[in-house]
Structure 1
């Protein structure tokens, strides 16, 4: 297919976690709401039947915001911000605990709804997907409206969609008209719509690259597009420089990958306060068990097993260490994962308090692939026996 004739959509759910919570608590609509608390921040039902919600001003700890409603964002509260800092900006904002089971449920609902229109979907995260619309007969605006309606009917939630000739532009455009927006752009619109934006709006240009570009006098995409490739190569190396040059001109040849194999599945938790390896051993043990259980559940839901088990530890001084062990067989059982994780822990001197604990399973293989391999092995043994 001609690159210029492609129609790639990026669908991004609007304030996804917060929007799911508003389905559960509609009385909070229009209020600043922050998601990031623990189980103790669940609403409390009073004697009169009403609910009492936690407020940011009552929070104490080192947790961070997972997401926030647009009303909270309007006062400067954003994802990944520390909850204590957010409490200074919006002390009266409602604080709700994270409920990943609910978010995964609604994630599956919206993806299934889109799949009923076209199976050409790349799963890009719990709240976003890429969709290849190139082979569908309808015009882009009609398709965007159909998809948004299907998502709303299935979940009661809104999403924003960007449709362009490639993934890079579509991801940028899905953010233009949030919430509940549609942006359709072709390559001729790049000078007007894309070039005036800061370079950091390009997915893949991080803080370090942005700072390095600024030293070259480049702060917006138009300036990046005017730079000679040779100059970029002198400062960024051949590969990254070529990528910068192409994306500045709206070029991205990546296809929509309808099936991508994960390289690892992991879970981690940052403790409310630093835990001592001996004095807080019970709490650490419970945290390790919970992480292994969640990883095992993720493996089961995605249909994978793994051979390499890793642990990640971040100490009170922010020093981070990892250890891993590769097993002789594939596993997905929480007890087996925990046993392997404990083997990893024994190889780390635990002398300082811990700030973060994580568990990862890698060297993955799908359950189906292992079943097929097992059948083939059995067949080879049978043939050998017959010979």
Structure 2
């Protein structure tokens, strides 16, 4: 009996990884930074030696600088580096643009971070390599940023592919070459293998994917516990996980009806404030943000009007701010006298608050 069952997997999965994303955005916005080693993080000389590297451009990386490294260590390795404090609001805005491009190709998108995502493009009749090329072209058109893309039939191989040819590359790993590709990989490149795991592998004499594949599942479990199962299947170019679509197909809102019609703008504003307070509490409880704010108005003649505002970045979840926005829309609808029976305030185009807080890089 065969050691493992290699099931037919005809999916097309892309893993898209923006190249040194934060650094690339800063170099795009300030071309002078392209020619110097650039570190996104606090300059340790200005912050009493404190700080963590969020990312670095490829010039700084050649000196050994990498993300999550202490800023002082990074400066020691690369004393002539330029430090730029991160602007996460800007990065989130650019990331939103990129995710709009993803939506042109598929509705099955799994964000991993601001700068990377998995896309299941199995429904497209186009070849994976063609889709990757078009996607990279569209991202460049919209943002003037480059990305690396891995194309394969499962998520692990797609991720390994995007890391294989960076920056600004595409790697296609088809079923006909997958086992050979994995066999040649250095053990440090396998997903989940960190410093401690590498030390264990070194003691075991395991250097490549081919060496890893020679170990049985039971042997891997003895040395690595449940992680051994993941390693076993990775060595066999097999992964069962699906691309998880994290889009939220819902809206969050509140309405209020009135026994006696409202005729006063201050009463309208107070109502919007009350509705916004409830909506914000609901959004925060569900860890959601929204990019479209809608208001609904029904007058004394039972005419119902809806209007909305959409913006690139999520709205502030601040009741006073939202009430003023809603009031502004209302005033445009009813510049003169009015008699209002119902008011509603709703967020649509909502998404998880994922990646809104990046505590590892907590900057003052």
Q: TM-score, structure 2 length as denominator?
A: 0.64
Mapped pair 1:34 → 2:39: yes
Note if contact 2:162-2:169 (Cα within 8 Å) is conserved in structure 1: yes
Matched, 1:106 2:111: no
Query: Within the alignment, does 1:241 sit opposite 2:228 as a pair?
Result: yes
Q: 3, 12, 17: which one pairs with 1:12?
A: 17
When the two structures are superposed, what TM-score results if normalisation uses the length of structure 1?
0.61
Where 1:178 maps in the other structure, the secondary structure is coil
Separation (CA, whole Å) in 2 of partners of 1:302 and 1:212: 46
Q: Secondary structure of the residue that 1:255 maps to in structure 2?
A: coil
SS in 2 for 1:245: helix
Q: Select which of 162, 166, 179 maps to 1:174.
A: 162
Partners of 2:31 and 2:170 in 1: CA distance: 25
Contact in 1 for aligned 2:179/2:237 (Cα 8 Å) = no
In 1, the alpha carbon distance for the partners of 2:284 and 2:37 equals 35
Seen in structure 2, the aligned counterparts of structure 1 residues 296 and 24 have a Cα distance that, compared at 3 Å, is farther
Instruction: Deviation per CA, 1:296-340: give whole Å up to 9, x if none.
Output: 79945269xxxxxxxxxxxxxxxxxxxxxxxxxxxx9799xxxxx
Separation in structure 2 between the aligned mates of residue 60 and residue 186 of structure 1, nearest angstrom: 50
SS across alignment from 1:258 = coil
Paired residue for 1:383?
Answer: none
| 1:250 lines up with 2:237 in the alignment | yes
Which of 187, 193, 204 in structure 2 is aligned with 1:205? 193
Q: If you compute each CA radius of gyration, which structure gives the higher value, 1 or 2?
A: 2
**Equivalent in 210, 215, 218 of residue 227 of structure 1:** 215
SS in 2 for 1:11: strand
Does the alignment pair 1:84 with 2:72? Answer: yes
Q: Does 1:145 align with 2:145?
A: no
The separation in 2 between residues aligned to 1:189 and 1:59, in whole angstroms, is 49
Q: Distance in 1 between matches of 2:290 and 2:210?
A: 42
CA distance in 1: counterparts of 2:220 and 2:79, whole angstroms: 45
Flag the 1:62–1:334 CA change in 2: closer, same or farther, 3 A: farther
Q: Distance in 2 between matches of 1:236 and 1:13?
A: 31
Q: CA deviation at 1:9?
A: 0.6
Of 129, 153, 161, the residue aligned with 1:165 is 153
Shift of 1:127: 0.4
Distance 1:7 1:70 in 2: 30
How far off its partner does 1:242 sit?
A: 2.4
Alignment of 1:18-57 (within 5 A): 18-37=23-42
SS in 2 for 1:301: strand
SS of aligned partner of 2:289: helix
Q: Secondary structure at the match of 1:65?
A: coil
TM-aligned CA deviation for residue 192 of structure 1: 3.6
Shift of 1:34: 0.6
| Cα shift at 1:236 | 3.1
Distance 2:285 2:31 in 1: 30
Find the residue that maps to 2:176 and give its secondary structure. Answer: helix
Could you tell me which runs of 5 or more consecutive residues in structure 2 were left unpaired when the two chains were aligned: 1-6, 249-282, 292-315, 320-346, 349-364
- Cα pair 1:59 1:84 within 8 Å, conserved: no
- Counterpart Cα distance in 1 of 2:25 and 2:89: 11
- Residue 247 and residue 165 in structure 1: after superposition, are their counterparts in 2 closer, same or farther (change >3 A)? same
Count residues with an aligned counterpart. 257
Q: Secondary structure of 1:92's match?
A: coil
* Distance change in 2, residues 1:240/1:93 (3 Å): closer
CA deviations over 1:150-204 (Å, ceiling 9, x no partner): 1111111111100011100111110111111111011332344322222221222
In the alignment, the residues of structure 2 paired with residue 235 and residue 83 of structure 1 have an alpha-carbon distance, to the nearest angstrom, of: 34
Alpha-carbon RMSD = 2.8
Q: Give the distance between the partners of 2:28 and 2:284, measured in 1 at CA.
A: 29
